Amino acid sequence: MQLNLVGVAAALATFLGVWMGHVAVRRIERNTIRLWIPIGLVLALGLGFVSFSLTTPNLILSAGSGILAVTFLWDALEFLRQQNRVKHGHAPANPNNPRHAKILAEYPEATTFDWLDRDPRGSKYSAAELASMKESAK
């Protein structure tokens, strides 16, 4: 019996690509002053993986690299979307980053408060409780 590992490779590539991409986009966007540099690098990586996926004769490598290619190309777009989340106050701004300091000055909704850094309690927070958490973090 011969094992078909394409599904396992695809699953691993998907899980690792999405997980690492999510973490990397948040951290890199938070600390990078010029976003075009990581966007260009991630686009180049994505296109490189597309090229490798199209030219490799190995089906397992082709599937895994194709999934990683799409993930990298999507992450290039996510840098801009993450910046918009910062502008709207959905993600915390880094006041030590000049680009984020400018966002904090120009967009009243922008905040340094991390909405994900709170204790889960199993029920919704009221608007007053959320405002209180945001105020106490200042």
Q: What are the pLDDT digits (tens) for 64-114?
A: 999 999 999 999 999 999 999 999 999 999 999 999 999 999 999 998 988
> d(Cα 56, Cα 65) in Å, to the nearest integer?
10
Q: What is the pLDDT of residues 103-132, one digit of tens each?
A: 999 999 998 988 877 777 888 888 888 888
| Amino acid code (one letter) for 132 | S
What average pLDDT does the segment 54-60 reach?
Answer: 95
> Which residues have CB under 8 Å from 70's CB, separation 6+?
46
Q: How confident is the model at residue 138 (pLDDT cuts 50, 70, 90)?
A: low
Number of H helices, E strands in the chain: 5, 0
Longest CA–CA separation in the chain, Å: 64
